Amino acid sequence: MTKQEIANDIAQMLDEYYPTTPIPLDHKDPYTLLVAVLLSAQCTDERVNKVTPFLFEKADTPQDMIQLEVEEIKAIIRPCGLSPRKSKAIYDLSQIILDKHDGVVPQSFEALEALPGVGHKTASVVMSQAFGVPAFPVDTHIHRLAYRWKLSNGKNVEKTEKDLKRLFPRESWNKLHLQIIFFGREYCPARGHDPVACPICSKYGRRTMFA
């Protein structure tokens, strides 16, 4: 089979396993999603969802966030890890959103990626999930699965994103990246993975798995 044929079959399988794709991070608007995605770096969505209610009870807008001290933000988000860096980024991006964007989360990759603590992957998540703009956020999990499934060579996340965008229709990107995340958690984890039991790896997986 060609790589495109494998991609088409995988897309069909993912639609069967996950016809609906709820956004894993709890939020109520683009700003709270942005903060939640920033907190999710090197942290599970489950843990982020336990922490954000306490943070958003105190501040769920840029205006309210800058009324908090950075140390106060850091104390709340400590369970998410990297709290010194993340707390400063949350405070600083909130100030910039107020100063440069009239208190509204900007709707462009360029403006989002210019915010402290916001890289291309975080910007892609916000653009796709908050604003419905086609994007294909690639984190380490999607990067790993794309290699396992022979959809990319595993060189780097940038190459993986380009490969996936080429293989799948633009209108499917926003849903598909969530489907891959859900599938990976349930059937294709980083550790303790059984390629024989995995519905996709058993058909298309590499013999040498990418950790």
Catalytic residue among 139, 159, 175, 194: 139
Neighbours of 39 (CB within 10 A): 28
Catalytic residue among 121, 150, 155, 165: 121
User: Among this protein's residues, is 88 annotated catalytic?
Assistant: no
The span from the CA of 176 to the CA of 181, in Å, is 9
φ and ψ at 68, to 5 degrees?
A: -90, 155
φ and ψ at 40, to 5 degrees?
A: -75, -5
The span from the CA of 65 to the CA of 1, in Å, is 52
User: Among this protein's residues, is 121 annotated catalytic?
Assistant: yes
- List, by residue number, the catalytic residues: 121, 139
